[in-house]
Amino acid sequence: MSLFGRKKSINQLLIDADGSEKGLKKTLTAWSLVALGIGAIIGAGLFVRTAAAAGEHAGNAVTFSFIIAAVGCLFAGLCYAEFASMIPIAGSAYTYAYTTMGELVAWIIGWALILEYALGAATVSIAWSEYLNNLLGGAIPYAWCHSPFESGADGVHGFINLPAIFILLMLSLLLIKGTEESAKVNALIVFVKVSIVLLFIGFGWKYINSANHVPYLIPDNAPPVDLGNGKTYDYSPTFNHGWMGVLRGAAIVFFAFIGFDAVSTAAQEAKNPKRDMPIGILGSLAVCTILYLLFSHVLTGVAPYTDFVKAGKEASVSYAIQHYMTEYGWLATLISVAILAGFSSVILVMLLGQSRVFYSMSNDGLLPKVFADLHPKFRTPWKSNLILFAFVGFFGGFIPGSVAGDLTSIGTLFAFVLVCVGVMILRKADPERVRPFRTPLVPLVPILGVLVCTAMIVSLDNTTLLTAFCWMLVGLCIYFFYSKHNSKLKGQA
């Protein structure tokens, strides 16, 4: 049969999910899901990518970049909400594609989600290690907190990033213990980091220098920034100024929104998914968008965007406080603590999302059954969590963090595009199915979601696009040599 014709029955999916007492444990409430989304969203994207996008591409108009990224996420989020309320099954975009576009597309999405969740978790664990060492005043030797591909200013080479591996191990063990326990820890972390973000916005507002916001868009004749050692940063390229710079900035800060879709991976563990999943997805997106706009406005108002090209990119908030809000030096330390907490919750939700996607793919026969084995007591996919720890830990311990940042974004954007397409397909193929939450203005909203997300993909650099293409080729090889022949739908008409 056609690979696009191999589709899972929604009715059978729901029967399997409801009928198994040995399945994933239902423990998550609407608030737990909102907190899960906020926990994944507010982290490295806000504290690191905002300054990078502002300094190198969008300038003060990074607020517009956040709006573009948020609009793309809103269109996709409305589509996710319809699917998650209608098909409350672990697996997120992968499961939705399997029911609408067939097995091959589902595999491609599942493979792309590895870029989002697994490589995203590795990237954030590396940032966690950097902030921890900054907080400790550089007490950890360079060789033990950097990859072998990195070297310091004094010529010392890295050997292994132990702090990154440590945080990945701790959070993997927490996930094995249980989703409910993980959600409680995440809720506490969310409270801490949101409080710190609000403190920075509140205290920083009076330090905004209106001159820093003029001009708002980077002009095409903006002078280059002196980086030292005879190097400069040039704003004349198309995607380094004006509205095209804002679009490139949107693709960069899009990383800051990654996470709301991870809520849908926990659908099978929600107590009342038909009501709670739309609240969790759209609620977390709304809260974070408001915080992002306020945060980016204050950050670029306190410090000129050109500062973030040459200094403070990774520790932008602490940099702004130490150089322009000197009365609040104590807040810089709290910010570092909040960032560590924020990174921890992001890693937690990404590892959760990846293990749930693998759980679904394994149940479908597309991955070995070890990824679907549940712990006899905790009813969590513990073997999957351990295997993922080894995989993600390798990248966190031995690969530089700069390698996977944009790859994480492109994997997510691709999944968003296909989810939007899936809503349109299912509306036509199964119009009578009960939809507890309905995406408004179909097909307009899904089409706009496809267009905005595709525009952000195209604006990424060629190296990232080529790497993602090669990643997809590897995934297709695995599918045709293993998954296709082991699929539970093999032989079905």
List the structure tokens of 167: 């945080």
pTM above 0.75, yes or no: yes
* Cα torsion through 144, 382, 260, 104, rounded to 10: 110
Task: Quickly state the pLDDT bin for 21 (edges 50, 70, 90).
Answer: very low
411, 448 contact by CB (below 8 A) = no
Give the phi and the psi of residue 215 in degrees, each rounded to 5: -75, 155
Amino acid at 393: G
Residue predicted with more confidence, 51 or 227 = 51
- Quote the domain boundaries for residue 166: 10-206+242-486
Residue predicted with more confidence, 180 or 246 = 246
What's the rounded Cα separation, in Å, for the pair 76 and 480?
29
Residue 214 belongs to a domain: no
Task: Quickly state the pLDDT bin for 275 (edges 50, 70, 90).
Answer: confident
Vertex 253, ends 252 and 256: CA angle to 5°? 130
Provide the CB-side half-sphere exposure for 129 (13 A, CA).
30
Residue 221 belongs to a domain: no
Provide the CB-side half-sphere exposure for 10 (13 A, CA).
18
Tell me which residue of 30, 41, 26 sits closest to 190, measured CA to CA: 41
Q: Report whether pLDDT(99) > 50.
A: yes
Residue 222 belongs to a domain: no
State the CATH number of the domain containing residue 66.
1.20.1740.10
Q: Report whether pLDDT(1) > 50.
A: no
Domain tally for the chain? 1
Q: Please compute the mean of the pLDDT values over residues 70-74 and round it to a whole number.
A: 88
The answer to which of 29-43, 225-239, 451-465 has the lowest mean pLDDT is: 29-43
What's the rounded Cα separation, in Å, for the pair 189 and 338?
8
Who contacts 191 (Cβ-Cβ below 8 Å, separation ≥6)? none
Give the phi and the psi of residue 237 in degrees, each rounded to 5: -55, 150
List the structure tokens of 329: 């030096």
What's the rounded Cα separation, in Å, for the pair 377 and 387?
19
- pLDDT value for 113: 82
The answer to which of 106-120, 121-135, 189-203, 392-406 has the lowest mean pLDDT is: 392-406
Amino acid at 343: F
Task: Quickly state the pLDDT bin for 493 (edges 50, 70, 90).
Answer: very low
Residue predicted with more confidence, 397 or 2 = 397
High-pLDDT (> 90) share of the chain, %: 23
The answer to which of 31-45, 329-343, 405-419, 465-479 has the lowest mean pLDDT is: 31-45
The answer to which of 58-62, 115-119, 159-163 has the lowest mean pLDDT is: 115-119
What's the rounded Cα separation, in Å, for the pair 119 and 261?
16
Residue 122 belongs to a domain: yes
- pLDDT value for 392: 92
Give residue-wise pLDDT tens across range 440-451.
999 999 999 999
Give residue-wise pLDDT tens across range 284-320.
888 889 999 999 999 999 999 999 887 655 567 888 8
What's the rounded Cα separation, in Å, for the pair 427 and 436?
14
- pLDDT value for 62: 95
- pLDDT value for 137: 78
Q: Convert 341-408 into a string of H (helix), E (strand) and C (coil).
A: HHHHHHHHHHHHHHHHHHHHHHHCCCCCHHHHCCCCCCCCCHHHHHHHHHHHHHHHHHCCHHHCHHHH
Residue 431 belongs to a domain: yes
Q: Report whether pLDDT(267) > 80.
A: no
- pLDDT value for 44: 65
List the structure tokens of 299: 């950050």
- pLDDT value for 16: 61
Residue 212 belongs to a domain: no
Tell me which residue of 199, 208, 195, 202 sits closest to 299, measured CA to CA: 208
Give residue-wise pLDDT tens across range 133-148.
878 878 889 889 888 8
Distance from chain centroid for Cα 199: 24
- pLDDT value for 269: 73
Residue predicted with more confidence, 224 or 261 = 224
Amino acid at 262: A
- pLDDT value for 406: 67
C-alpha Rg value of the chain to the nearest Å: 22
119, 407 contact by CB (below 8 A) = yes
484, 490 contact by CB (below 8 A) = yes
Beta pairing, strands 225-228 & 231-233: antiparallel
Residue 216 belongs to a domain: no
Q: Report whether pLDDT(132) > 90.
A: no
Q: How many residues does the chain have?
A: 493
What's the rounded Cα separation, in Å, for the pair 219 and 400?
33
Q: Tell me how far apart the 2 most distant CA atoms of the chain are, in Å.
A: 70
What's the rounded Cα separation, in Å, for the pair 305 and 308?
6
Residue predicted with more confidence, 203 or 319 = 203
What mean pLDDT, rounded, does the chain reach? Answer: 83
Residue 368 vs residues 96, 179, 358, 365, 482: alpha-carbon distances, Å: 21, 23, 9, 7, 9
Strand partners of residue 231? 228
Who contacts 53 (Cβ-Cβ below 8 Å, separation ≥6)? 62, 65, 248, 249, 250, 252, 253
Residue 405 belongs to a domain: yes
| Cα dihedral across residues 47, 53, 59, 63: positive or negative | negative
High-pLDDT (> 70) share of the chain, %: 88
